[in-house]
Amino acid sequence: MHTFRRPRPDDAAALYDLVSAYETAVLGGPDMTLQDVEDELAEPGFDLDRDGWVAEGPGGRLLANAWAYANSDSDLVDVDVIVRPGSEELIEPLWEKVLGRARELAAERGHDGATVHIGVYRADQGKQTLAKEHGFEPGTSFHRMRIDFDGPVGPPAPPAGLTLHSGESEEVRREAHRVHQEGFAEHFGFAPATYEHWYERRQAQNATDWSQLALARIDGRPAGVVIGTDQFLPDQGCGYVATLAVLPEFRGRGLGRFLLLHAFAADAARGRKGTILHVDSNNTTPALDLYESAGMRQVMAFDVWRRRL
């Protein structure tokens, strides 16, 4: 027996137990942390009363979790369905709920349809099959890359005319936002966001530390940005490059490599074991080659499936 209800902020620990059970079955251990779950529940724009569901079993144990999240004002909606091993009968009703909500979210934003994405671990062949059965097609693949440090990492030599600026000031953050928006405009799944929305989402995350944002100016002009966070610090002791973007006119000058190596040196100086990032294998720029040539290795893969409703 089970009942469906809406998630609550105080569900974080129970949701973490559920997600850990699922990830352990698929990956051999948890991938998310309790902090990650808390951040998801507090995500700006995520309406607990409309966008999510949990299935509760005897004694209040959570058996499943599902949600739909609209990306700013675009027609793009991310969804997910996570079920505790042994409770697979909950899968179908939850898929119906999230796809129905995706249609509503797109309509509320003035779109005549929704582009729906779901991310699935490469190791979870069962969920890959479910996505296909629900009309989804492969969209792209992301690789989790990692480099480990064996002692201090020296700072890279800067390109000519470069100055670096950290993200504690609003002026720098606004320039970083513009570089991110323009640098990622052609990437898979990109949804434009205002500075206010971009800032609010990052400010709400426990992992955000604006001192780990480095804006690169070339001859005084904003050219690139790298944004590090503490997302992988609690469980893996590593820094995380959440964003690395270079404006098109400044590409091909080694600025992306400089910003990547700068992030490595900064993480090593903070005493971290290594640096982690995610890269789209179909990136419009040769990012995967850059990361591999800098000594990073793939440690996980997951696929994004998409469907037009």
Domain presence at residue 309 = no
Any idea what the CATH number is for the domain that residue 119 is in? 3.40.630.30
Among residues 106, 135, 164, the one where a domain terminates is 135
Domain presence at residue 295 = yes
The reported pLDDT for the residue numbered 1 is 78
The reported pLDDT for the residue numbered 68 is 98
The verdict on 114 and 181 lying in the same domain is: no
The verdict on 128 and 150 lying in the same domain is: no
Over residues 8-25, the mean pLDDT reads: 98
The verdict on 35 and 79 lying in the same domain is: yes
The verdict on 109 and 166 lying in the same domain is: no
Q: Using alpha carbons only, how large is the chain's radius of gyration in Å? A: 20
The reported pLDDT for the residue numbered 284 is 60
The verdict on 163 and 194 lying in the same domain is: yes
Show Cβ contacts of residue 292 under 8 Å, excluding neighbours closer than 6 positions: 145
The reported pLDDT for the residue numbered 285 is 65
The verdict on 164 and 289 lying in the same domain is: yes
Domain presence at residue 140 = no
Domain presence at residue 27 = yes
Tens digits of per-residue pLDDT, 231-260? 999 999 999 999 999 999 999 999 999 999
Domain presence at residue 308 = no
The verdict on 128 and 180 lying in the same domain is: no
Over residues 56-70, the mean pLDDT reads: 96
Instruction: Please say whether the beta carbons of 267 and 228 come within 8 A.
Output: yes
Among residues 135, 169, 200, the one where a domain terminates is 135
216 has pLDDT over 80: yes
Instruction: Please say whether the beta carbons of 249 and 234 come within 8 A.
Output: no
The verdict on 28 and 98 lying in the same domain is: yes
The verdict on 150 and 277 lying in the same domain is: yes
Whole-Å CA distances, 154 to 74, 151, 161, 240: 42, 10, 20, 18
Tens digits of per-residue pLDDT, 186-214? 888 888 999 999 999 999 999 999 999 99
Q: Give percent of the chain above pLDDT 90.
A: 91
Q: How many domains does the chain have?
A: 2
Over residues 5-14, the mean pLDDT reads: 97
The verdict on 155 and 275 lying in the same domain is: yes
The strand pair at 274-280 and 238-246 is best described as parallel
Residue ranges making up the domain that contains 183: 145-303
The reported pLDDT for the residue numbered 149 is 97
Tens digits of per-residue pLDDT, 171-183? 999 999 999 999 9
Tens digits of per-residue pLDDT, 162-172? 999 999 999 99
- Residue 64's pLDDT band (cuts 50, 70, 90): very high
The verdict on 259 and 222 lying in the same domain is: yes
The verdict on 214 and 107 lying in the same domain is: no
> What is the model's pTM?
0.93
Among residues 84, 110, 135, the one where a domain terminates is 135
Tens digits of per-residue pLDDT, 261-293? 999 999 999 999 999 999 998 766 668 889 999
Tens digits of per-residue pLDDT, 78-121? 999 999 999 999 999 999 999 999 999 999 999 999 999 999 99
